[in-house]
Amino acid sequence: MTKSVSKSIKTPKEVEREFDILRVLLGMTIALCIAFLIILLISKDPLGALKSFVIGPLSTLRRMGNVVEAMTPLLFTGVAVCFIFSANQTNMAVEGGFLLGALGATIGATVFHLPPVIHPLVCLLLGGLFGAFACYVPALLYVKFNSKPVVSSLMMNYICMYIALGIINHVIRDPGAGFPASYTFDETAQLARVLKGTHVHAGIFVGLVVVLVGYLYLYRSRKGYEIRMVGKNVNFAAYSGMPVNKVLMNSQLIGGFLAGMGGAVEVLGMYTRFQYQGLTGHGFDGILVGIIAGYNPAIVPLAALFLGYIRVGADVMSRMNDIPIELVSIIQSIIIVLVVAERFLYKQKHRKLVEVAHKELAREEVAANE
């Protein structure tokens, strides 16, 4: 459709799409407004705090680096969630998968000794496999015993956490570290820094590749089509002859693999040893990123950037001003609520649709009279 035509009359389809985007943007805006309101209320220097929050992340190269560092793991967990949630499975074991992935990479980076390039690749693969295991268990329980992944995956997260901590504390703990942590990674396994003065590492490129491949797989390949159809109407998929259970397992194994890879990239890029003391929250952040992106990997970088940005903004604000970092969590929650609320802006949308319908009718009448 050419621009001039779409300007005169929008199809309902376009109105629908318009409002989908509007809803996300407005959700974000409202959330930020509420954040500003809170800042105004609790800060002695609201303007300074606001400034830190809004442009703080851009003020120095290091902080810009922080934004990229924060978004890197979210690319992985975000795409992971796109895969799992597109199949309409609420498998939240991406959280545990991320930690297990970090564990897998740690084992790879401390136990094996391999040449450069190959070493991190092996670690990423190990991390991916560990992560896939985390999501595999709830997926299998659902397919075999119809146990809802909402519950089993949350439990799985704890299992993952204690497996990881147990192995770190009792098997590969470095007694010389002074705190519970693994031995240091081989230097050959660590991901290279790519920007001087920041901690930005090669993981961001791996992440962007994952986004691209993830998009092509989910939206351009036959396997991705299966995943989306199973997610949208499982009865239809079965009726059409799709191997539903295989597709469900497949989507969650891929999701788990990506989450695990994210964990691997994070530890190998940011740290020199495994030193997490519990779940990291990257998986749940991934769910937020996935939801904002509408489960489309192509939009994941934007959503991850947004989240990374307000994270760093809040961090800058909490260090420079008198605002606690917890504020970010409040903003996050508000965004989720507004984005997932389908009826949000419903009346406006409906009014617009009626208007479009009227224009269409008028046009039809003109056409009929001609």
Partner 1 sequence: MDTVVLSMENITKVYSNGFVANKNVNFSVNEGEIHALVGENGAGKSTLMKVLFGVEKPDEGHILLHGKEIHIDNPIVAIKSGIGMVHQHFMLVPSLTVAENMVLGMEPKKKGLFSMEQAVKITEEAATKFHFQVDATARIEDLSVGKKQKIEILKALVRGARILILDEPTAVLTPQETKELFVELKNLRDEGLTVIFISHKLNEVTELCDRITVMRAGRTIGVQEVRNVSESDISRKMIGRDVQLNIQKSRAKPGDIVLNVKNVTKYSRTSAKKALDGISLRVRRGEILGIAGVEGNGQTELSESITGMDKEFEGSIQIGGMDVKNHSIRQAREHGLAHISEDRITYGIVGDGSIEENIISDRYYKPDFQKGPLLDLRKIDKLADELIGRFDIKCDGRDQPIKMLSGGNMQKVVVAREFTSGSSLIVANQPTRGIDVGASEFIRNKLVELRDQGAGVLLISADLNEVMELSDSLIVMSDGKIAAYFEDAAAVSTDELGEYMLGIRTMTPDKIRRVADND
Report the half-sphere exposure of 31 (CA within 13 A, side-chain side): 22
Q: How far is CA 87 from CA 49, 218, 225, 227, 318, in A?
A: 42, 10, 10, 5, 39
User: Which is closer to partner 1, CB of 10 or CB of 119?
Assistant: 10
357 binds partner 1 (CB under 8 A): yes
Q: Among 71, 134, 161, 229, which residue interacts with partner 1 (rule: CB under 8 A)?
A: 229
Tokens of 9: 């009359």
Q: Among 2, 220, 366, 370, which residue interacts with partner 1 (rule: CB under 8 A)?
A: 220
Contact present, 286 and 76 (Cβ < 8 Å): yes
DSSP SS3 for 173: strand
236 binds partner 1 (CB under 8 A): yes
* Contact range with partner 1 by CB under 8 A, out of 154-162, 226-234, 259-267, 320-328: 226-234
Nearest to residue 38, comparing CAs of 50, 56, 51? Answer: 50
Q: Among 25, 55, 216, 341, which residue interacts with partner 1 (rule: CB under 8 A)?
A: 216
333 binds partner 1 (CB under 8 A): no
Tokens 């208007």 sit on residue: 355
247 binds partner 1 (CB under 8 A): no
List 193's β-bridge partners, or say none. 201
Contact present, 139 and 151 (Cβ < 8 Å): no
At closest approach, how far in Å is the CB of 53 from partner 1? 37
User: Which is closer to partner 1, CB of 12 or CB of 324?
Assistant: 12
d(CA 180, CA 124) in angstroms, rounded, equals 23
Nearest to residue 288, comparing CAs of 256, 315, 311, 319? Answer: 311
Q: Among 26, 194, 195, 353, which residue interacts with partner 1 (rule: CB under 8 A)?
A: 353
167 binds partner 1 (CB under 8 A): no
Contact present, 197 and 64 (Cβ < 8 Å): no
Say how many residues make up the chain.
370
**Per-residue x/- marks for partner 1, 290-329, CB under 8 A?**
----------------------------------------
d(CA 234, CA 16) in angstroms, rounded, equals 24
345 binds partner 1 (CB under 8 A): no
User: Which is closer to partner 1, CB of 187 or CB of 365?
Assistant: 365
User: Which is closer to partner 1, CB of 63 or CB of 228?
Assistant: 228
205 binds partner 1 (CB under 8 A): no
Q: Among 3, 7, 13, 170, which residue interacts with partner 1 (rule: CB under 8 A)?
A: 13
Residues at the interface with partner 1 (CB under 8 A) = 11-13, 15-16, 216, 220-222, 225-226, 228-229, 232-233, 235-243, 346, 349-350, 353-354, 356-357, 360-361
